[in-house]
Amino acid sequence: MLVGAGMSVGARCPSWVPESIRLGGGRSAGGRWDGVARTRPRGHFGLEPLAPPAPSHTRTARSAAEAPDDPVTPDPPCDVFPAMASPSVPAVDRKADHLTIAAGEGVLHGAGSGLDAVRLRHRALPGRDLDAVALDAELLGRRLAAPLLVSAMTGGTDEAIAINDRLAAAAARHGVAMSLGSGRALLEDVGVLRSFRPADRPPLLLANLGVVGLDPGMAARVVELLGADALGIHLNPLQEAVQPEGDPSFGDALDRIAAVVAALAPVPVVVKEVGFGLDADDVRRLAAAGVAAIDVAGSGGTNWALVEGRRDPRAGRLAAAFATWGRPTAEAVRDAVGAAGGLPILASGGVRDGVDAARCLALGARAAGMARPLLLAAREGRADEALETVVEQLRIATWLAGAARSADLGAAHLQDSAPG
Ligand SMILES: Cc1cc2nc3c(=O)[nH]c(=O)nc-3n(C[C@H](O)[C@H](O)[C@H](O)COP(=O)(O)O)c2cc1C
């Protein structure tokens, strides 16, 4: 359902939104995304940008009458990460640029996720019928029908209503977890609440905020506003470093995370990267800080340095050298499982289908997440079909690898660990 032109995104809330919150706001979407803007001088470093930056477009949300049953409009405005505020570019234009660029070409990591090299065994005698394979899983105290996560993406604009509604409807129908995009905009303007509160409720819903400038009050507020089951905190140092308006203030990041963990308890806190992975030392530090789970969000999928590089020439010059930066997802999962001391590890970053998800589980992940592929599907109105396909692929891969349950997948199901 798209909200009609001129209608406030705060005007319609699903029934599961508490009354106190439903009455909370009234301003329309498109307000400033973040208050920590930082403009740096734009020197020329003698390198060419990766590509001409995408132009900013001024867009307004299309009305429901214009596109009643249609996929999401091709170029919807999108919030991406919190520190996007620019003194010179309206927030809605930056959001539109980010979604357009993230969904376009030239934003994929220059090296793979490493998942292709992870070989599951193939059992021509799987030992059971396909429909006897169980995919259910426990994550952060919730029961999922399949160990999958719609990774954090959007919220904050009229168009995000349609995207989140489609993703949440699919996640709810297939019983998988979903994270909303960064809630920084919501903290500044509760009027955008509807864009973060989809009509359908997945079994596990995560709110999301960036670590820069994060404090316990912000964290508690966003969880309360969204009625979220958990909070995801994203670490995006490379994106902040190349982004013209970025704020790479990461010196106190771990302290901020520990403070949020303590303040939110018992609400679980998950920490994630955004597509460059996590080092084992960082995983150990996060585990010691008390987080409930860690999403490695490794490299091999969407590369946010390249996204920034396509919207700004200076960012492009900086980003060019980081096309292959980071820890590929397969390696990051292996490392994290070894370093996390039993903490649930989520695998994302370049996960492209249910076979990739099965590979991640066999490497020790508790669940696997996908962002960009599901965004593309949601924009085309086929989020449900896409998720259904991933779930079935996961079921078939689990079966063929010889496991009765996806939760049982492990080293014994990997070809390299197989006997003889
Ligand atoms: C359009 C878009 C918006 C995103 N916004 C957020 C965000 O607000 N918070 C966050 O933690 N990650 C965000 N991400 C990063 C994803 O959650 C994910 O970590 C990253 O894209 C790698 O996964 P992928 O290769 O499946 O896209 C966003 C990704 C996309 C494609």
Closest to 224 measured CA to CA, from 211, 203, 204, 207: 207
User: Which residue's alpha carbon is at the smallest distance from atom 15 of ligand 1?
Assistant: 274
* Position 16 pLDDT exceeds 90: no
Binding site membership of 329 for ligand 1 (Cβ less than 6 Å): no
User: Which residue's alpha carbon is at the smallest distance from atom 22 of ligand 1?
Assistant: 349
| Distance from the alpha carbon of residue 108 to the mean position of ligand 1, in angstroms | 12
With a pLDDT cut of 90, the percent of the chain lying above it is: 72
Q: How confident is the model at residue 417 (pLDDT cuts 50, 70, 90)?
A: low
Q: How far apart are CA 59 and CA 92, in angstroms?
A: 8
Q: How far apart are CA 351 and CA 147, in angstroms?
A: 13
Residue ranges of domains in the chain, CATH in brackets: 115-417 (3.20.20.70)
Q: Which residue from 80, 97, 222 has its CB within 8 A of the most atoms of ligand 1, so it is best to mutate?
A: 80
- Spell 274-304 as b/e; 16+ CB within 10 A means b: bbbbbbbebbebbbebebbbbbbbbbbbbbb
Contact between 233 and 182 under an 8 Å Cβ cutoff? The reply is no
pLDDT given for residue 65 in this prediction: 25
pLDDT given for residue 97 in this prediction: 72
pLDDT given for residue 94 in this prediction: 58
Highest mean pLDDT among 15-29, 39-53, 157-171, 401-415: 401-415
pLDDT given for residue 157 in this prediction: 83
Closest to 158 measured CA to CA, from 290, 310, 10, 378: 10
Residue 237 CA: distances (Å) to CA of 14, 181, 210, 377? 35, 17, 10, 28
For the stretch 47-57, pLDDT in tens is 222 233 333 33
User: Which residue's alpha carbon is at the smallest distance from atom 25 of ligand 1?
Assistant: 301
* Arithmetic mean of pLDDT, 144-170: 94
pTM of the model: 0.83
Q: Which residue from 34, 72, 148, 153 has its CB within 8 A of the most atoms of ligand 1, so it is best to mutate?
A: 153
SS3 annotation, 159-204 = HHHHHHHHHHHHHHHHCCEEEEEECHHHHHCHHHHHHHCCCCCCCC
Q: How far apart are CA 374 and CA 357, in angstroms?
A: 14
Binding site membership of 153 for ligand 1 (Cβ less than 6 Å): yes
For the stretch 205-254, pLDDT in tens is 999 999 999 999 999 999 999 999 999 999 999 999 999 989 999 999 99
Q: Which atom of ligand 1 is nearest to the CA of 273?
A: 19
pLDDT given for residue 93 in this prediction: 55
Paired sense of beta strands 367-370 and 142-144, if any: unpaired
| Distance from the alpha carbon of residue 372 to the mean position of ligand 1, in angstroms | 7
* Position 74 pLDDT exceeds 50: no
Residue 1 structure tokens: 């359902």
Q: Would you call 209 helix, strand, or coil by DSSP?
A: strand
| Distance from the alpha carbon of residue 414 to the mean position of ligand 1, in angstroms | 28
Binding site membership of 239 for ligand 1 (Cβ less than 6 Å): no
pLDDT given for residue 29 in this prediction: 28
pLDDT given for residue 402 in this prediction: 98
Contact between 349 and 298 under an 8 Å Cβ cutoff? The reply is yes
Cα-flanking dihedrals φ and ψ of residue 192, to 5°?
-90, 10
